Amino acid sequence: MSGSEEDKRYFGTDGIRGHVGEPPITPEFMLKLGWAVGRVFSRTGRGHILIGKDTRVSGYMFESSLEAGLVAAGVDVSLLGPMPTPAIAYLTRTFKAKAGIVISASHNPFYDNGIKFFSGNGEKLDDAVELEIESELDRPMLVVESDQIGKVSRIKDAAGRYIEFCKSCFPTSFNLEGFKIVVDCAHGATYHIAPDVFKELGAKVIEMGTAPDGFNINDQVGSTSPGKLVEAVTGNNADLGIALDGDGDRVIMVDDQGEIVDGDELLLIIAQARRSAGRLVGGVVGTLMSNFGLEKALEREAIPFKRAQVGDRYVLSELLRNRWELGGESSGHLLCLDLTSTGDGIVSALQVVGGMLQENKSLNELKQLMMKYPQHMINVRCQERMVLDEIPQICDAVKAAEIELKGKGRVLLRPSGTEPVVRVMVEGEDVAQVEKLTNKLAEVVEESVG
């Protein structure tokens, strides 16, 4: 079966996600989804599937529903409990499981939840496999014979296995003795893992966001809300701060001056350190939203750079196409394919700290490699999805803006994939010019598609 994202009813760019209690994020749907997944992955023989989750309260409900559906389809299940998304990808590979299931809504509030899947290789599922699962959802749910019903077990040492894996991604010639690090786990899936990784490598760790109660995940903590981390770093005279999101696949950092270091800057630091050590394979993949400053900095370092569509699956696809290893998004979703098969906040942070030790520089010094360009964006509502480069007045306005920027900035018009808006963005060296051009472009777009 072949197909594309546009053909799907339930799967988006990162699994299935929504508001708890509203279809499809209901116990009934998850029961049927578990059964459908079990049907698809048991076609090549009986195997087992791992289930992990983050710390939101609805995870218990959906874990039980998925478990029941999977065993009804004749699949054995291994429960991991609260575990970061990248840990589930790693453990799926090491246990030779048919697939891994993540119950998480990532950086969303507790009242949202979702399901993500990994193949046996620890990679996101292909479009064709997701369409197969959706096809099975249309069939009546039939339970296998009683002697074929799946069994359920719990992997009790999952956290310890993953902690050791993370530590193995840090150079053995370095340790973190003398470092004071604030680690913010967003009251999410890394709460019992990330602090131990950095402690066991020798750092003095100040913990934040490590008391999940089912409702406080991502609540004014973590990579989407780093304000308190900034205060903790400066208040404790720490060397740096690390902010993970609810499921642990993103990371944002804070330097010793209290300045936030985003995904673009972290990506550059990792790339430059690898290039300096002779370990950079090819170039770097960013997205359409990566800051123009990243592109210019990589150009100065003679490191090739390509942009992919927004979304880690598109970054991954571009990396695989070019046989490169390093890519990511401004949000802090970074890919180091020589180490992991998916975005991993802890592993990415370790690469940055390793770069600091290798270069013998602070995080603040390393972030000076990149000058972030001022960026301004306006969302223009539109009635329907339109092909913008087929509208003459919009094309003319974009060309005029690019001429005015004189190669020292860029223009991006991008229809949102999740809401009826066109994102109008301009980057450049001068804040006033950027805002003026963005407003002017937004007016043209609104007149054309509003």
Helical axes 345-359 vs 158-168, angle rounded to 10° = 30
Inter-residue contact 380 to 306 (CB < 8 Å) = no
Cα angle vertex 277, ends 275, 278, to 5°? 60
3-class state of residue 99 by DSSP? strand
Give Cβ neighbours of residue 336 (< 8 Å, ≥ 6 apart): 169, 270, 325, 326, 344, 347, 348, 351
Q: Which two tokens stand for residue 6?
A: 């546009």
Inter-residue contact 345 to 251 (CB < 8 Å) = yes
Amino acid (1-letter code) at residue 59: G
Query: Which of these, 320, 312, 333, lies nearest to 248 by C-alpha position?
Result: 333
3-class state of residue 302 by DSSP? coil
106 is a catalytic site residue: yes
Number of Cβ atoms within 10 Å of the Cβ of 9 = 10
Number of Cβ atoms within 10 Å of the Cβ of 274 = 22
3-class state of residue 74 by DSSP? coil
CA atoms within 13 A on the CB side of 348: 37
By DSSP bridging, strand 204-208 and strand 251-255 are unpaired
CA atoms within 13 A on the CB side of 90: 26
The one catalytic residue in 106, 225, 290, 341 is: 106
- Separation of alpha carbons 316 and 337, rounded Å: 9
Query: Active-site positions?
Result: 106
